[in-house]
């Protein structure tokens, strides 16, 4: 489909910069740009060849607004498969907004969030999965997340769903023939292995989606321990920046402090907390409560001990706590003489000696975190899929419907029962491809984009 209106938006971040781009897409993009643009070489944009760059100025009522470079791109070889014009301005917000306002006065409409990418999808240039990958690229927080998004932009997930859907269609055709011509029905022994193979492949995609969730959402680490054991210093060391205030005064941290960091390419959300102790006032009481909430959110607890002093009763209480989640014991201040004589509960591999102050042992601790939470396995772009919740739910529904079909075949139920499950699975897989997808779902997907994308 092609739209009969033309949209415009600023496609670069607002603020000061070297370059700012105003983008237009639609049938009137080039004529609108022509009205605004004065070529330094007398070139007409409407007569210009596709994918060419032209130097000149944007003019309004005889006044020069900005010195620009204008890119002209003719459909269908464009991002949206429509005519596109990109006006490269100087990066000041006033210049950009003035150029955009002029384009709107000349007949363009302000683009909605994600509308350029939505048009690319609706015009058949990219699949729904590829459209979503554009957003994943923009929002990537780690190199692995970026690599996975770029890999998925090439259509790996949509190709996998297309393969599942094609196989389901083939099996449906064979079963329908069997329903209409019972003497020609293929034996269950020949259909069942192919269906099981599809189920296994769907399970593989679901597992890759779970790995992708770790990459996009990250894992949460909470630093816990009594006051003044070095939690904030370790927090800064893991972030490789001075984020939390560090002083020798016990109880400096009264609230939780939360930041994100990449460890071995995986996103981690690290929470520094107030010391766990018997509160002596309302402020300390609130700090302890917030620490407990941070621990409840955590995927991993790092329990810090001060190696430069003997274990206290508070340390023993924390060591005996059942955190109900993975935990590592970290003995801090290894740069000072060790005064912990007791054997720390737990195996040696769950106890790490570090100096958060000078960085000693931080790399070993990082490897231990990855080993405990990810089994030592670092995901790669080929082994993860960046799926939204609705995609994960739909894919799970496809798998369950296929499993129902397998059960119907194994229990020698009627071909009609098997076909009903397969038709439902075929429809759900089509929704993953963007076929007959509701307008609400489409709006939900593209509303998360910025306006210029």
Residue 344 is classified by DSSP as P
pLDDT digits (tens, 9 = 90+) for 113-124: 889 999 998 898
Give yes or no for residue 82 having a pLDDT over 60. Answer: yes
pTM greater than 0.75 (yes/no): no
**Hey, CA dihedral for 142, 144, 147, 152, is it positive or negative?**
negative
Residue 404: per-residue pLDDT: 93
Secondary structure (H, E, C), 143-164: HHHHHHHHHHHCCHHHHHHHHH
Residues 6+ apart with CB under 8 A from 211: 379, 383, 384, 385
Residue 188: per-residue pLDDT: 58
Residue 182: per-residue pLDDT: 56
Taking phi over 0 as left and psi of -120 to 50 as alpha, with beta for the rest, 80 belongs to alpha
Secondary structure (H, E, C), 34-79: HHHEEECCCCCHHHCCCCEEEEEEEEECCEEEEEEEEEEECCCCCC
Residue 311 is classified by DSSP as P
Residue 252: per-residue pLDDT: 44
pLDDT average, residue stretch 414-423: 87
Give yes or no for residue 279 having a pLDDT over 80. Answer: no
Among the CATH numbers 3.40.50.300, 3.10.580.10, 3.30.70.1170, 3.30.300.30, which is that of 218-374? 3.40.50.300
DSSP output for 233-254: HHHHHHHTS--S---SSTT---
Q: Extract long-range pairs of 159-162: CB within 8 Å, 24+ residues apart.
A: 160/201, 160/205, 161/129, 161/429, 161/432, 161/433, 162/433
Question: For the chain, which residues make up each domain, given as ranges?
Answer: 7-126, 134-213+388-433, 218-374
Give yes or no for residue 360 having a pLDDT over 60. Answer: yes
pLDDT average, residue stretch 81-110: 93
Q: Average pLDDT, whole number, for the chain? A: 83
134-213+388-433: which CATH topology?
A: 1.20.120
Give yes or no for residue 388 having a pLDDT over 70. Answer: yes
- Specify the CATH architecture of the domain 7-126: 2-Layer Sandwich (3.30)
Residues 6+ apart with CB under 8 A from 278: none
């Amino acid at each position: 489909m092609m739209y009969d209106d033309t949209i415009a938006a600023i496609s670069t971040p607002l603020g000061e910069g070297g370059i700012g781009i105003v983008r237009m897409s639609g049938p009137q993009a080039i004529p609108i740009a022509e009205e605004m643009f004065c070529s330094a070489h007398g070139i007409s944009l409407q007569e210009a060849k596709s994918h060419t760059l032209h130097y000149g100025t944007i003019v309004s009522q005889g006044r020069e607004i900005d010195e620009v470079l204008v890119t002209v791109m003719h459909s269908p070889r464009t991002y949206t498969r429509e005519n596109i014009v990109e006006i490269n301005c100087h990066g000041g917000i006033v210049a950009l907004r003035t150029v955009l306002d002029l384009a709107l006065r000349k007949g363009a409409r302000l683009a909605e969030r994600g509308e350029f990418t939505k048009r690319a999808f609706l015009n058949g240039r990219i699949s729904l999965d590829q459209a979503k990958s554009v957003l994943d690229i923009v929002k990537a927080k780690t190199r692995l997340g970026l690599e996975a998004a770029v890999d998925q932009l090439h259509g790996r997930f949509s190709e996998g769903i297309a393969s599942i859907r094609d196989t389901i269609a083939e099996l449906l055709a064979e079963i329908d023939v069997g329903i209409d011509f019972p003497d020609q029905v293929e034996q269950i022994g020949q259909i069942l292995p192919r269906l099981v193979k599809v189920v296994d492949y769907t399970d593989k995609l679901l597992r890759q989606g779970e790995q992708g969730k770790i990459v996009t959402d990250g894992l949460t680490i909470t630093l816990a321990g009594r006051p003044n054991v070095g939690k904030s210093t370790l927090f800064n060391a893991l972030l490789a920046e001075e984020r939390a205030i560090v002083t020798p005064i016990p109880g400096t941290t009264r609230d939780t402090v939360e930041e994100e960091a990449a460890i071995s390419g995986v996103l981690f959300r690290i929470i520094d907390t107030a010391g766990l102790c018997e509160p002596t006032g309302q402020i300390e009481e609130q700090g302890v409560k917030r620490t407990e909430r941070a621990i409840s959110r955590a995927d991993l607890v790092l329990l810090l001990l001060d190696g430069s002093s003997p274990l206290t009763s508070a340390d023993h209480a924390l060591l005996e706590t059942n955190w109900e989640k993975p935990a590592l014991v970290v003995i801090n201040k290894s740069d000072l003489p060790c005064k912990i004589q007791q054997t720390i509960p737990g195996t040696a591999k769950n106890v790490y000696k570090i100096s958060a102050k000078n960085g000693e042992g931080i790399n070993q601790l990082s490897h231990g975190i990855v080993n405990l939470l990810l089994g030592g396995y670092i995901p790669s772009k080929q082994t993860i899929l960046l799926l939204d919740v609705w995609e994960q739910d739909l894919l799970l529904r496809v798998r369950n419907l296929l499993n129902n079909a397998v059960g119907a075949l194994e229990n020698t139920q009627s071909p009609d029962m098997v076909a009903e499950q397969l038709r439902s699975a075929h429809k759900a897989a089509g929704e993953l491809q963007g076929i007959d997808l509701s307008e609400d779902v489409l709006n939900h997907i593209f509303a998360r984009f910025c306006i210029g994308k």
